[in-house]
Structure 1
Amino acid sequence: MISFRYTRNLFLRAFCIVYLFAFISFYIQIPGLYGDHGILPAKSLLENSKHKTLSAKVHYQPTLLWLAPYLGLDVNYAMDVLALLGSFLAFTGFISQKFCTIPLFAGLWSLYFSLYQVGQVFVSNNYDEFLLEAGFLALLVAPLLPGRRKGSKGSPSDSISFWLVRWLLFRFLLTCGLLKFISGCPKWWNLSAFSYYFESLPLPSPLSWYFHHIPVWYLKLFAVIANVCEIGLPFLFFVPIRAVRITSFIIQIFLQISVVLTGNYNFTNLLMVTLLLSLLDDQFFYGRRKPFTKWTFIEKIVNILIYGVVFLAVVKLYSLKLNGTIIESNLDFSKDQFEFVLKQGLTITIYLGLLSLGVSILRALSISLFDVQGSGSKLFTIISTILYSAIALLLFCASTVPLASLHSTSNSTVHPSVRTVYNRLHKLHAVNQYGLFNKMVGVDGRPEIILEGSENVEGPWLEYNFLYKPGNVNHSLPFVAPYSPRLDWQMFWAAYSSYEKQPWILSFAHRLLTGRPEVLVLLDKHHSPFSQKPPKYIRAALYKYTYSSWSQRSQPSWWVRQRVGEYFPAYTKDSPALVDYLKARNLLPTPTRHNVNPVWKQILDGIRYITGQLEATLLLWSVFTAGCAIITTYAKK
């Protein structure tokens, strides 16, 4: 029996760190995004419900925030409580393994799901859904109670739980990789995508500028590596040879580190690394080195052969050729050939997945029946293994729906009952459809919305500066991850749309016109011309940003920009067009009525004041460092 006990413990504590960063990130931004005077008040969303009973409200919008009045809280303070409670639970799981149980992860998932339900446009990306689905699987990995599964090799159901984690990783990577080609994006088809990628990231890092200027043939190789890591290597997650999985783990870790260095994707890369732990077993961390045997020799040879075949396939499919000191690469397959393989391959992939899961279930049942000692312990293990097997089959069947939807042929074969199961689980975000950045955007320069304020409609117009997105061409961008600046992120997507289709952005402008401090704190206060007094007029201009050339590397400018035109016209806070627009969408601020228990209010306001003294990323790393210090202190005792 393969031991997963240490791997499971490491997985769960790492998952608590991911939750910790996610909850603190959410907490920091609650007043500016969801408060009564925030951009999209959560109270207004919940007040849209016409249901009277608690059960009907929960069915309409499943969130723990409905309990706020029963706890002496309003919606805003209730969101603070949920985020702080989630942060506390995640912190306890991080510093102590004994807290990493099913009740803890059930609480973490429920709290984050409740906040997600009122997140609106600021959670309209796959990453929050990815965390929720992974968090649902963490429930299956965690033990029921501390010490419940303290056997020397863990529980037989561990192999089933970790199989589901690998399957989620597989689906996420494969879907993201395939959609790049399915979309027909010419930049992915000619392998030139990375010539634009680093410039068009939602939130570039300080190193993005340097990677953008790497020679083109290197950038084409990056596209090849990305394709292989997302489409080819995930199939090796299920090979029953640990050396193959370990090699795949190392390659995928290299990919995640590369992404972290070149772009800010909040907590997603840390979550990916956590899920990649499912490819390992206890022997990888502390197992004694096995004596060299015939089997270990065969295992190493098979590993070399498999990756050798992968390398030769990559050379063939991407026409890799050495031309002097340059490696040339071009796709050696047509769209028709890709279509044919996709059509046949999706169905085959689903059947192979079912076969692999079936083998894992049979192995777990076999261990439960024949390897577990003690009648009581054996009965419990058999029942739990059967239960985990049934849940795994249910989740697998549901997950085939988004996978099959990648092609019309395989999508038409999905049974209606399976689709019904998927729809119900998807409502809980226990199974999701993934695939961001299918097409390369910003190929002629990244569009950026620049907000400008003035005391006179004739000008002069002064610019607002953001903390994490491009604005001032002379300002480099910081490393932000694992913090998730949702306003800056959403400004990136709004630039590819019109303000009429983004109601929140006019609500944002109105809050700036009224000088709301909870919204202003989300911006760069140190470089804001309106930190003391709001402007009378505000407007938005659309610019195209491109990186400055390599020859200008000694100059202070990181960007070159060109004004494209107006994004939205000048408004005052009392402009009838603006007021009517926001009123029709229930986005006008409402008078704050503090129906909050005074004790609650004093405690929560105090916590908000203390945490508000630190910059967001500094707060995240301070809490993390405190956790590490506690772990180190207790480890020495």
Structure 2
Amino acid sequence: MAEPPRRPRELFLAGLAAAYLAAFVSLYLQLPGLYGRDGILPLRRALRPGGRGLRALLGAEPTLLWLSPRAGLAAERGAELLCLLGAAAALCALLSAALRDCLLLAAMHAAYLSLCRVGQVFLYFQWDSLLLEAGFLGVLVAPLRLFRWRSAAWRAHDGVTFWLVRWLLFRLMFASGVVKLTSRCPTWWGLTALTYHYETQCIPTPAAWFAHQLPVWFQKLSVVATYVIEIAVPLLFFAPIRRLRLFAFYCQVLLQVLIILTGNYNFFNALTIVLAFSLLDEEHVAYWLGRSKKKHAGSWPPSLLAFLSTLLELAAYALLLYWSVQHFGLEIDWEKKVLESKVAFTYHEFTQWLRTVTLPLVGVGFLSLSWEILSALYRCISVRGCFWKLWALLQWAVFATAAVGVFAVSLVPFTYIDYESNGKLWPGIHHMFNAVERFQVVNSYGLFRRMTGVGGRPEVVLEGSYDKQTWTEIEFMYKPGNVSAAPPLVAPHQPRLDWQMWFAALGHHSSSPWFASFVYRLLQGKKDVIRLVQLDEAKYPFSAQPPTYIRAQLYKYWFTGSTETGEGATRWWRRQHVQEFFPTVSLGDPTLESLLAQHGLKVRPPPQTPLSPVCAPPAWPWGSAHPPRAPPRTRRPPSARRPPSCPGCWSPSGASASRSRARPCCGPCTSAPPAPPCCAPSPAGPGGGHPRPATKGPSGGTRWTEGAARRTGR
């Protein structure tokens, strides 16, 4: 039998640790501005216990941040601690093979899941879901090393769990290719998507400007290559011939490297390459490292097998080329000296083909997994020693069962590409998926399903003023704004506010409730939020004093052409004003106050009522570091009590909220805890009752909004 892929497994675990490290560090740098007490979406609005016990809270929303108050930490401090611990664990696993342990990976997975479950709109991206699913598989793949302090030997069942990584890669790539056609996007069907993509993606790189200048025929050919790599080549992931799997590996790496060069997609493309390591074998990685063993001449039967393998390999390449020529009308125009291409099939024909192949692909996956399970069983039986053989069989039974369970559950999001096939799945599989969906063990994927920005990329530009007469643009660090500023290189960091600004520009501001809170924090001059916009205070025009008024304008941006001269030759962008995106507002403005209250981003003060003779203390405020002190046993007469606006009352936004010990509420004060008066329990439901995205879409565990699904399906 083939040599077990120990080195590919180590590459996968090390790459997974690197992705975790990038994700934790990037999020940690943005936590205060995004989720802090004075951030855009404070975590306290997503963590409202409502008087429930810890078990009920974890069942409703599986996040370790429920433990923050019990540890004497505010929610945002607990999130920062999770990021620091996760980053430290990821760094240890990256630097030391002995620490690439299933327990350490489980800790990283739990920390990132805890953050994603309460991260609201800023953590609703497909790569967050992909990292969670890959991280869960990493727990199954990684050995238990912490108690042995030496490199664990390859276990008999490791091939079974490592196969799940290959299955995840197949689902990711195949679905990403299919949704481009099922979306009926005219640019994908017309093969013109890449003529818009480079300038309309969220944060392009400088290389994207040069790629945008390529001729149209080459852009169309690039779309054809994308379809081939994402739809046809993934079928080779399960080929029994290793050279076909290696060919598939290098095709995926080529695509991801080109995306990395032209776009800032944080750790996503690097993580996809890490998943592709599951296509490699021990011999090929040893060849990379210069440690490959010399092969001796084989006997006649192995030589015959090698000859037949070569024939099948050539036949696969020929079939792939024939399929590409036939379905995309590839033809050389000798006069223009270009390679013309067009889609040579209809939407109906494609959906019929997809309906025909979806369930057979599930069967191919099941047969491939069954082969891995039977091979692992053979290796278990071959183990020497009765005790060790029984121990190997026990592990095989546990991990084979887990692999079959994960494979079965993953069929639900995978078959979202064809809902008729999804409906044919056994109902028990749907029940299993519903039971684990909130843990995001499996998710659906579908990148760039529709191309936005046709006719110009929409971009929101913020403007501030002190007198409503002179307006100054507020320039972001990463997203396009200044037409003379070069596109940045950001990856693997993800500026999540810049990304959401890109999504906000695709619709009305009411579709992005967080935007009103963002404007409100800028008007208040909150430093943590300002650092999300500009780290350099010299580049922020209102660093000395917050603006009195803020408005937002909608522009359309285009890359400049390579033939432009004069002033345009020094610019990267050109733009045109479209309309007002957000009205002029200031602190206390009724429009802004209404938007904040409508979306639950600012607490409305309760109406004033006469003081009651007895007022029970409020529930423990979860933003406080300690529980409130008990009320005194001896009551003062009503006339001697504090007025409603006394500084002793707990206020979530006032100065007393930051005190280490909050006093009990002494009346129906105007700074009561969220929702009810301070003497009543909070009725908040699971997750604080904050609104979930209106549409779930075919995302499985991935929670998204319709606006976010337009372009990338995130």
TM over 0.5: yes
Could you tell me how far apart the structure 2 residues matched to 1:413 and 1:591 are?
A: 56
- In the superposition, the TM-score normalised over structure 2's length comes to 0.81
Aligned mate of 1:471, from 478, 481, 494: 481
Could you tell me how far apart the structure 1 residues matched to 2:464 and 2:81 are?
A: 35
Could you tell me how far apart the structure 2 residues matched to 1:140 and 1:203 are?
A: 35
Q: Which moved more, 1:402-411 or 1:483-492?
A: 402-411
Could you tell me how far apart the structure 2 residues matched to 1:311 and 1:436 are?
A: 25
Match of 1:571 in 2: 585
Letter in structure 1 aligned against 2:228: V
Could you tell me how far apart the structure 2 residues matched to 1:469 and 1:80 are?
A: 25
Q: Which moved more, 1:149-158 or 1:212-221?
A: 149-158
Q: Which moved more, 1:142-151 or 1:536-545?
A: 142-151
Deviation at 1:490, TM superposition (A): 0.7
Deviation at 1:20, TM superposition (A): 0.3
CA contact (8 A) 1:72 1:596 kept: no
Q: Which has the larger radius of gyration?
A: 2
Please list, as runs of the form range in 1=range in 2, the aligned pairs for 1:154-173 lying within 5 A after superposition. 154-173=154-173
Match of 1:516 in 2: 526
Please list, as runs of the form range in 1=range in 2, the aligned pairs for 1:232-311 lying within 5 A after superposition. 232-286=232-286, 287-291=292-296, 293=298, 294=303, 295-311=305-321
Match of 1:591 in 2: 654
Match of 2:40 in 1: 39
Deviation at 1:580, TM superposition (A): 3.0
Deviation at 1:153, TM superposition (A): 6.6
| Cα distance change on mapping 1:353 and 1:580 into 2, 3 Å | same
Please list, as runs of the form range in 1=range in 2, the aligned pairs for 1:91-490 lying within 5 A after superposition. 91-146=91-146, 154-286=154-286, 287-291=292-296, 293=298, 294=303, 295-324=305-334, 325-369=337-381, 371-457=382-468, 459-490=469-500
Letter in structure 1 aligned against 2:257: I
CA contact (8 A) 2:4 2:159 kept: no
Match of 2:78 in 1: 78
Select the structure that is richer in helix: 1
Please list, as runs of the form range in 1=range in 2, the aligned pairs for 1:625-636 lying within 5 A after superposition. none
Q: Partner of 1:10: helix, strand, or coil?
A: helix
Deviation at 1:149, TM superposition (A): 11
Q: Which moved more, 1:318-327 or 1:13-22?
A: 318-327
Deviation at 1:268, TM superposition (A): 0.4
Q: Partner of 1:555: helix, strand, or coil?
A: helix
Describe the superposition over 1:297-351 as per-residue Cα deviations: whole angstroms up to 9, x where unpaired: 4434432331222112111211111122211111121222112101111111111
Letter in structure 2 aligned against 1:193: A
Deviation at 1:240, TM superposition (A): 1.5
Match of 1:559 in 2: 573
Q: Partner of 2:112: helix, strand, or coil?
A: helix
CA contact (8 A) 1:398 1:431 kept: yes
Describe the superposition over 1:269-301 as per-residue Cα deviations: whole angstroms up to 9, x where unpaired: 111111111111211122314235414444344
| Cα distance change on mapping 1:189 and 1:148 into 2, 3 Å | farther
Match of 1:621 in 2: none
CA contact (8 A) 1:473 1:559 kept: yes
CA contact (8 A) 1:68 1:74 kept: yes
Match of 2:608 in 1: none
Letter in structure 2 aligned against 1:392: A
Letter in structure 1 aligned against 2:238: F
Deviation at 1:170, TM superposition (A): 0.5
- In the superposition, the TM-score normalised over structure 1's length comes to 0.90
| Cα distance change on mapping 1:156 and 1:20 into 2, 3 Å | same
| Cα distance change on mapping 1:378 and 1:595 into 2, 3 Å | farther
Describe the superposition over 1:11-65 as per-residue Cα deviations: whole angstroms up to 9, x where unpaired: 1111111100000011000000000000000012212x42431112222222111
Please list, as runs of the form range in 1=range in 2, the aligned pairs for 1:540-555 lying within 5 A after superposition. 540-552=552-564, 555=569
Deviation at 1:595, TM superposition (A): 6.1
Letter in structure 2 aligned against 1:288: K
Could you tell me how far apart the structure 2 residues matched to 1:165 and 1:380 are?
A: 25
Deviation at 1:227, TM superposition (A): 0.6
CA contact (8 A) 2:548 2:587 kept: yes
Q: Partner of 1:541: helix, strand, or coil?
A: strand
Match of 1:620 in 2: none
Could you tell me how far apart the structure 1 residues matched to 2:195 and 2:359 are?
A: 34
Could you tell me how far apart the structure 1 residues matched to 2:93 and 2:486 are?
A: 36
Letter in structure 1 aligned against 2:45: S
CA contact (8 A) 2:65 2:114 kept: yes
Q: Partner of 1:327: helix, strand, or coil?
A: strand
Could you tell me how far apart the structure 1 residues matched to 2:199 and 2:271 are?
A: 24
Could you tell me how far apart the structure 2 residues matched to 1:244 and 1:386 are?
A: 31
Q: Partner of 1:453: helix, strand, or coil?
A: strand
Letter in structure 1 aligned against 2:352: F
Q: Which moved more, 1:29-38 or 1:544-553?
A: 544-553
Structure 2: gaps of 5 or more residues: 287-291, 603-651, 662-714
| Cα distance change on mapping 1:410 and 1:308 into 2, 3 Å | same
Q: Partner of 2:199: helix, strand, or coil?
A: coil
Q: Which moved more, 1:224-233 or 1:147-156?
A: 147-156
Could you tell me how far apart the structure 1 residues matched to 2:296 and 2:285 are?
A: 17
Q: Partner of 1:9: helix, strand, or coil?
A: helix
Structure 1: gaps of 5 or more residues: 598-637
Deviation at 1:437, TM superposition (A): 2.0
Match of 2:20 in 1: 19
Letter in structure 2 aligned against 1:308: A
Q: Which moved more, 1:559-568 or 1:518-527?
A: 518-527
Letter in structure 1 aligned against 2:543: S
| Cα distance change on mapping 1:373 and 1:596 into 2, 3 Å | farther
CA contact (8 A) 2:145 2:152 kept: no
CA contact (8 A) 2:98 2:149 kept: no
Could you tell me how far apart the structure 2 residues matched to 1:591 and 1:97 are?
A: 49
Match of 1:608 in 2: none
Could you tell me how far apart the structure 1 residues matched to 2:88 and 2:599 are?
A: 35
Q: Which moved more, 1:580-589 or 1:113-122?
A: 580-589
Could you tell me how far apart the structure 2 residues matched to 1:241 and 1:539 are?
A: 60
Q: Which moved more, 1:482-491 or 1:378-387?
A: 378-387
Describe the superposition over 1:52-106 as per-residue Cα deviations: whole angstroms up to 9, x where unpaired: 3111222222211111122221111111110000000000001101111111000
Aligned mate of 1:582, from 586, 596, 608: 596
Deviation at 1:428, TM superposition (A): 0.5
